[in-house]
Structures are given as structure tokens and as C-alpha cells.
Structure 1
Amino acid sequence: MPIVVTEDLLRAVVTKDKALSDGRTLVKKGSLKNLKATQDRSLLWGECQGSGASPYILSIDLGGDHPTIRCTCPVKPPPCKHTLGLLVAFMEQPTAFATAEAPAELMEKRSKNLERAEKKVEVAAKPRTVNKAALEKKVAAQRAALGLLETLVIDIASAGLGTLDGAKAATLVDQARQLTDAYLPGAAEALRRLASLAPRPAQGAEEERFYQLEEPGHDLPDELRYRLMTRHITRLWAMVRKGQKALDEKLAEGGGDADTDAVVEDLLGHVWDLAALKAQGAVRQNLRLFELADERYRDAVRDERVEQGFLLDLDQGGILVDRKFRPLVALDKIKEKDSYERPITIAEAGIYPGFVNRRVRWEIAALTSRPADPADFAAIHAAARPTLEAAIATYKEQIRNPLAPDDAVVLLHAADIRAAGKNLALIDQKGAALVLCDSPLARYRTTNTLAMAAGAELVNGALRQPASLLVRLFLGLEDDAIAGCAHPTIHHVPTFG
């Protein structure tokens, strides 16, 4: 069945809003000519007169999981305004496309695309045939790198965190590159995060290597910074121990718990794609989601812009995360992650291994949306955790694993929001309280905004109900107490009522 061309699809494929606007203009001006489509409407082609003597030749194949877009204009990568105009024209004026036999050249390209897609699925689905020699070579490199990491961790712990100055941190950054070269990018990133917490080095060679390596918490008082560094050391040590165990099991061709192995491999740098997730059975059909929050920030350690949306699973109630990493050097070449103002349904979605907030991923054509209605907001409130006890228990289970993230985003019912010294407190229906404050590691400050929002929702001195709040749970550095910070919610979802 061909991909249906909708506004959702246009939004998913467009990389620059101006290109889509210009494409709509081309349609209004009648610039698209000789529009044709196959009988099943899965292949479109046509022409558009550009600035040259000959028109540009356009084609769009709607027969796969995502559109294959081609144009002879010089704009790369696609889509250009001409092909976006072709999609708009087909969506708005399908009868303008005459039915015709597809050109042989396009059918040949489709056949090659289909062969590649089928091969990819086949490779992911069939039992892996292991090249023992290659595996042993790779595992040997990884074990040697983990041995290096083990030595580094022991040396740092033995010398004391106070001795980790800028010069030593710059050396750790260099050693992190060795981990990357040994197929352990996840461990390399973790080591760079530790190095980034060292005091800033003086001007010189070390400063040059250390340039712009910055992590939230690097400017904390020494006592708190050392506590944070201890957490990083603990995570690195767990990577060493669990990574070595996972590598031994890999050589022995299995023997460990599948979920645990997946999490360890993920943190050691394993890259998942949709085909691999499908092969693992980690998929959901007709997944109904409502995005509650969206955040974007620069991650200096990864040298990337992180863009992620937190989506409520309307059927199972959990909070999934739609995450995208864009290298800072290529921001103008990679499409920004979409944010969704309407409820969305994903025909088939892959769910990554992980903890409370699992990552979700899907093909472009799998998404459809619809207007929100009052029932959706009722469903959001119904999905909120009624008591703190269950949410805290789930978070505690996560942080028992030293490889797990330090935070978790949950949706909580708020019977009340009260002042608690300089902070706020969320009160659940049983009277239990969760301190709400700005984490010293937070990239956003939200407590003052929440205080104003909660005050605006008071009715006769009580918080208007129903009231739900998206909260990021975290472990305090000063006392290891669990607290929460209100997550910045996107404009279409009311925090209260």
C-alpha cells in the first residue's frame, strides 16, 4: 500500500520551512507540468521549469517505508522546493496527475531500493553468523580498552579526586579517543564527562585540548563537584565490570540475560536501528502518543545538539522519549527533530532497551496525527501517577543499576503545590510530599515559573483539579535525597486543570 501524502508527511520530510512554502507557491503558480502517477498512485513524476533552459525532472516513490525523493535540480540533499511542490500538488489535486506507465528508469531504481530494503530486513531477521576470528579481534580490542579504563579509574580513585586537574583531564580526553578507536564510544563519552568536571586548565597546550569540554556541574563548589565525580567514577567502574562480563558471554555465544546485555551494549556504544529492534521483537503496533514536553540543548561533551520530546503512552501510561542527536558541525544539514502539537499514532514503532524513559523510534510514513479533544486531556490526567510511592519505587529500581540514567521523567497527580522553604512541594492524594526544586545539574530553571503557574490555578485557596505535573526525578548531590523539578511543558498541554 502506498504512503498516504498528508500534512504530517510533509512536515516529516521537510528540512527547511521556506522550501515547503516555496513549494506551495509553485503549485499556486501552476509551475508543475506533465504530472503523472502510476495506477496504484505509488509513483509520481513530473517537471518544473527552473532558471535554466530545460525543466527539472521530479519523481517521488511512495512505495516503501519512507518516500524516495529525486530532482535534477542542484539542491542537495532532498527535498527541494520542486519535490515538496509535487507532494503538495498530489495531496491537494490528485486528479491533476494523469495515470501512466512508470518510466523504465524509475522502475529500475525502485527495484534496487526494494532489493536493498529486503536485504536489510533479511539480515536483521536471520540468525547471525559470527565470524569467530573477527569477533575475537574486536573483543580483544574492547577488552584491552576496558583494561585501560579500569587502570584509569583505579588511578583516579587512588590519587583522590582533588588531584584531577585540567592537565590530567586533558590527558583523559586523549585516552577517551583510544576507547572510541576500540569500538567503545559509550565508555569514551562517560570518560569525557568525568574529565569535564575538572577545574578549568590554565592557558596552554592542555587548555587547547580541553577547549569547550563542559558538563553541567563543572562550576559547583568542590564538595558537590566531587560527589558528582564519584557518581561518574561509579558508572565507569560498572562499565568495566559489566562490559568485561558481556564480552566474555559474547565470545561464548550467549549465556546472559538478553535485556541486561542489551542495556550494557547500548551504554558501551552499540547502535540500534529499526531493523535490529524489529528482529528483537522490540516493537509496538498502533502506538498512541501525546507529547507533553520538548527540550533542546547543546551537549558540549558529545559536541552535538540534543533534541528530545517526552511522550505519554496513552495506552500503557509510561513516558517514552523521542530523541535526536545533531552534530554541531552539521546543524544546517540535518533536519531538526519535530515536535508534535497534536496526538499522534505510530503504525509501528521500535522501543529501545533502557529504563523508565525508553527511547522510541519510527519510520517517517508510520506517523499520523489528529486534532486534540477534551478526552485526550482527560486521558493525560488519568495516566498521571496518583501517589508518589509508586513513582519513587520505580525510580529507585532504576538507580539501583549504576549504568542507569540519574534521572527519570514521570507524570504525577498533584493534589496540591505548596511552598516548602525556598522551594515548592508536590502533595499527592495521600498527603505525601515531593520537594520540587531546580537541580544544580538542570539545563533549565523551572521552579519560579511553576510557583506562578500554580498560584494562577488556585480556586478558593486550593489547586484546581484535576492537576497533573510532568516531573524529572533526580538524586540530590548534598544529601542523596530524591527530589523533582517541574519539566518545561510545551504550550498546548496545560500543567493544571
Structure 2
Amino acid sequence: MIELTQQKIEALAPNAEAAKKGRDLVKKNKFANLKINAEKNLIWGECAGSGKTPYYCSADYVDEHNPVFRCNCPSRQFPCKHSVGLLYSYEADATKFVEAEVPEDILTKREKIEKKQEKKAQEKESIKEKAEKPKKVNKAAFIKKIDTQLIGIETAQKLLRDVVTTGLSAIDVKMRSTLKGQIKELGNYYIGGIQTTFNNLLLSLEAVEDEQYTEVVNNLNYLSALLKRATDYLTARKADPEATPELSSAIEEQIGYTWKLVELMQYGQYEENATIVQLSFNSYDNPARKEYIDEGIWLNLKTGKIFKTMNYRPYKATKYIKEDDSVFGVLQLKDLYIYPGDTNPRIRWEADGSIERPLQKEDFATIEKWASGQFADTVKAVKSTIKNPLADKHPVVLLSLHKAYLNGEDLVVEDSNGFAITLKDITERAISATANLRAFLPAEAKGISLAVMMHNNVVTGLLSAQPLSLITSEKIIRLLY
């Protein structure tokens, strides 16, 4: 049974523009010969286009959690505006859809999908089987790759020395152009993460105003630490190719490695039947990677661990990669894969292995249970983390509040021991999470949890927290969106 709302359709559309164009098609009465099957899980019809022949589109909900959209138009978007418009037509007036037999071409495509799903299920079992087997390493190929990476790192170190020797203020437009070409060459050495870090440095140089080099210096320090750590790490890996890679940090990805699911399982970076809830969601631009990033903050209701999801949308493919959206329920996952990392490791799962249910009263109680009521211990752990030059400088933690008050212009929260943390936005945005919170956070805040992103101001020495969401016994209030 197809159940549609405008909110669900907007979530399925690849972007806001496709949703708008789909609505416009309905308003212009572009759809005809609208049909629905007896099982009420497939709709199809024709949509008039610019040519003589209409487009033939359908929405197949045989798997309600993973609908399949088909259209013979040339668009590379999935679903295209015609399929989105078909959904809006059904949502507006389902009675316009006349019951009919499923077309032969769709029956054939359904059979192919069933076979693919069976194969995928077998592959998943194969992943588990492979994970249980000892990992075999081709030592010669492994060492050859590391040698190439170490040569690339030497090249990167020379490039960094040239930047420092030249002097930041002496790096003009011409030299930045030369640097850009040299950075591009780093892509030949399997060190994509290091290459991205150099791009970050170049962007910070281009953004300098009034001789303010703080961000440039931060990038230089990070890059210097990364090159040294990468050299030591890869040298050790070369000496013992069969040793377990480092899993407590993201050093492999920071260098440029891409993890495979079977590897995550082999190293125990995997959890079955996980239950997670999204605490916060935000999309932002990363010019260094030339892509947009959708970042979700998630709490594992069983373990209390806070994770991140990162959906990367390269500039060139923005129209064709669906933007992630907020999730307001609880996800029950068959398989949860956890990438190596420190405080908030990255996670992923397969869409067909997830079921969403509404948040229940006991879920809010569980969230409160995992929130820290000992701010001193939390701050100590955060400071220990950010001392590592390669660790995430903005770890996310969950705080259990006792009191809230203004200290001058600053909003402050306390635990039951009177330990205080100042709330401040990390960067200036059109939406101020702290200002939003200030408008309604009660002075007596017992029973309320706050998801925050920590930030250490190197100039003032103040460790503050940017609020992301407020969790009460009944709802999650998002402050940053």
C-alpha cells in the first residue's frame, strides 16, 4: 500500500528543484493515463514533455522502504521530476488512478530486482564468511604501495618546507597557482587525505585578510603533524604488513585509505541489530574537497556512543546525488559498520537493512541515561582528545543539565555539582543555535539533555560548547539546521 505525504515526497526528491518541478507538472495537468495495480503498491502513467511522445514513468513500492522509480526520459536524476510529479499526483488525488494489470516490462524489471536482491543477500553472507577467514596480505604489493606513499609524503614535506621558507606573506597569486599544480600531483601517491589537507591550506591562504594568518597557521600545524605521523605509521606498517592497522584513530583515512565493509567486519568494527537516533543534522560546503557534506550526529541507544554520518556530494555530481535528510524516528539496523576513529567515529549501513519507528517515551529516558552529569569528567576527556593534533577538534558530547543562566552575554549550563560550561557558536551563521536556545531554555533544567559540539578558542583559552539539540522527556528540539 502506497502511503504518501508531501513531506515524504520532498524527502524522496533528489533536491528542492526537482520537487518544485514535479509539483509544477501536476499544476499544469501534464499527467494522463494514470494507473495503479490491484495490490496498491505500483503506480504508473504518462507525462507530457516538450516532444510529441509523452514520458512513461512509474513508482514501484513492492518494497515500501526502498521504492523504485522508472522513467524513459533522459534525466540522470533519480527520481526524475516526472516520477516526483507522479507521486504528487497520487498524493493530491489517488482516485484518478485506475486499477489495471501490471505492464509486462515492469514485471520483467521486478523479476530482475528480485534476482539482484537475492544475489545481494548472498554477497552479504559472503562478506560475513570472508570476515571470518584470516586476512591474507600480498606483502609484495602492500610494501610497494607503502613505498609509493612514503615517496609522496617526502614530496609533500618538501612542499611544506617551501611554503614555510618562503614566508606566508610572500605567497602571492602566482605562487598559489604553482602550489595548486604541485598539490594536484600528490594524487599520484595514494595519499588523497594529505592532498585534501594541502587544499585546505591553500584555501586558507586565499582567504587571508588584514594579515590574519591564524587559520593558515592551524592548517600548517595540522599538516606538519599529519606528515610526521603518516611517515612513522606507514614505516611501522611496512615492517609488519600482517599487523592490525590502527583502529582507535582515523589515520588510515587521513592518509587516504578507503575502508571496505569486509575489512570493518574483520577488525570488529561492526555491530548487529543496532538501534540509533539522530540528535542533529547539518549540511555544509567543503571547498577543499570540492563537495558538499551532509553530517548527521547519532546516538547508539544500546551503548551510548555518539557517531557521525557523512554524505559527500561532489560539486560536479550534486544534481545526481541525493542530499541526506533529517531522520526524526529511531533506526533499527540489521548491520551497522563503524569506521576507525576517535571520539565520534563515522558509521554507515545499508538502506535495505534499516527500519524506522517513531520515538517512544522510553527512548527519551535512554537518551537522558547516556547524557553526562559529570561535566568535569567530560571536559577532561575532551581536552585529552583535542591535545592530539590530528584528532577531531570539535567532538560532540551529550550533557545532562541541572541549571542554565546568563553570565553577562553568555549562556551557561551547570551540572548538579556546579561545574559550568559556556555555550557559544563556533562560527557565525545565519542561524545562531545559542541564540535559539537562549530564547526558551529554563533556568531549572533538570531532566533536560543537550547535545553540544565542543570548541577550544586558542586565543582566549576558553573551552566552550555549541548547542546542537535539546532533548526533553518528550521531544528532540533541533537548534542547528
TM class by shorter-chain length?
A: 0.7 to 0.9
Greater Cα shift, 333-342 or 358-367:
358-367
Please give the alpha-carbon distance, in whole angstroms, between the structure 2 residues aligned to 1:269 and 1:337: 24
**8 Å Cα contact 2:373-2:400 kept in structure 1:** yes
Aligned match of 2:179 = 172
Q: Which residue in the other structure is 2:264 paired with?
A: 277
Amino acid at match of 1:404: A
Shifted more, 423-432 versus 185-194: the winner is 423-432
For residues 260 and 12 of structure 2, the distance between their equivalents in structure 1, rounded to whole angstroms, comes to 19
| Matched-pair contact (CA < 8 Å) for 1:345–1:367 | yes
Residue matched to 2:242: 254
Match of 2:379 among 392, 398, 404: 392
SS at match of 1:286: strand
Q: Which residue of 1 aligns with 2:152?
A: 145
Q: Which stretch has the larger CA shift, 226-235 or 53-62?
A: 53-62
Determine whether 1:355 maps to 2:337: no
Cα distance in 1 for residues equivalent to 2:281 and 2:43: 38
CA contact (8 A) 1:238 1:403 kept: no
Unaligned regions of 5+ residues in structure 2, if any?
none
Summarize the alignment of residues 98-247 of structure 1 with structure 2, pairs less than 5 Å apart.
107=111, 111=115, 115=119, 118=122, 122=126, 126=130, 134-157=141-164, 163-164=170-171, 167-198=174-205, 200=206, 218-219=208-209, 222=212, 224-225=214-215, 227-245=217-235
Q: Distance in 2 between matches of 1:427 and 1:288?
A: 29
Choose from 328, 331, 336 the match for 1:344: 331
2:318 matched to 1:318? no
The amino acid of 1:191's aligned partner reads F
* Rounded Cα–Cα distance in structure 1 between residues aligned with 2:230 and 2:477: 44
How much does 1:61 deviate?
9.3
Q: Tell me the distance in 1 between the aligned counterparts of 2:79 and 2:478.
A: 37
Q: Distance in 1 between matches of 2:379 and 2:252?
A: 27
1:467 aligned to which of 443, 448, 461: 448
How far off is 1:410 after superposition?
0.9
Partner of 2:45: 48
Match of 1:205 in 2: none
- Distance in 1, Cα, partners of 2:312 & 2:36: 40
SS at match of 2:342: coil
Taking a change above 3 Å as real, the CA distance of residues 46 and 66 of structure 1, as seen in their structure-2 partners, is closer
Query: What is the aligned partner in structure 2 of residue 485 from structure 1?
Result: 466
TM-score by length of 1: 0.74
Three-state SS of the structure 1 residue aligned to 2:247 is helix
8 Å CA contact 2:76–2:320 kept in 1: the answer is: no
Give the 3-state SS of the residue equivalent to 1:424 in structure 2: strand
Question: Is the partner of 1:494 in helix, strand or coil?
Answer: strand
Give me the whole-angstrom Cα distance separating, in 1, the residues matched to 2:273 and 2:436: 38
Displacement of 1:244 in angstroms is 3.1
Deviation at 1:330? 2.5
CA contact (8 A) 2:35 2:100 kept: no
The aligned length equals: 460
- Per-residue CA distance 1:19-60 (angstroms, 9 max, x = gap): 8869999xxx994548488xxx9xx87863454769848685
Secondary structure in structure 2 of the residue aligned to 1:288: strand
Spell out the pairing of 1:63-102 with structure 2 (5 A cutoff): 70-80=70-80
Q: CA RMSD in A?
A: 4.5
Amino acid at match of 1:318: K
1:358-437 mapped onto 2 (5 Å cutoff): 358-437=345-424
Q: Label 1:423 to 1:227 Cα distance change in 2 as closer, same or farther (>3 A).
A: farther
What CA deviation, in whole Å up to 9, does each residue of 1:166-191 have, x standing for no partner?
55444333222121222211000111
Secondary structure of the structure 1 residue equivalent to 2:204: coil
TM-score of the two chains, using structure 2 as the length reference: 0.76
Percent identity (aligned): 23
Q: Note the C-alpha offset of 1:392.
A: 1.9
Q: Work out whether residues 448 and 471 of structure 2, in 8 Å CA contact, stay in contact via their aligned partners in 1.
A: no
Aligned mates of 1:340, 1:45 — CA distance in 2: 25
Q: Deviations over 1:403-452 (max 9, x none)?
A: 2111101111222233345533322221112233333xx264777x5356
Deviations 1:119-139 (A, max 9, x none): 687478636655556545433
Contact 1:299 1:306 in 2 (8 A): yes
Give, in whole Å, the separation in 2 of the partners of 1:274 and 1:19: 37
CA distance in 2, matches of 1:445, 1:69: 36
Cα distance, 1:147 vs. partner?
0.7
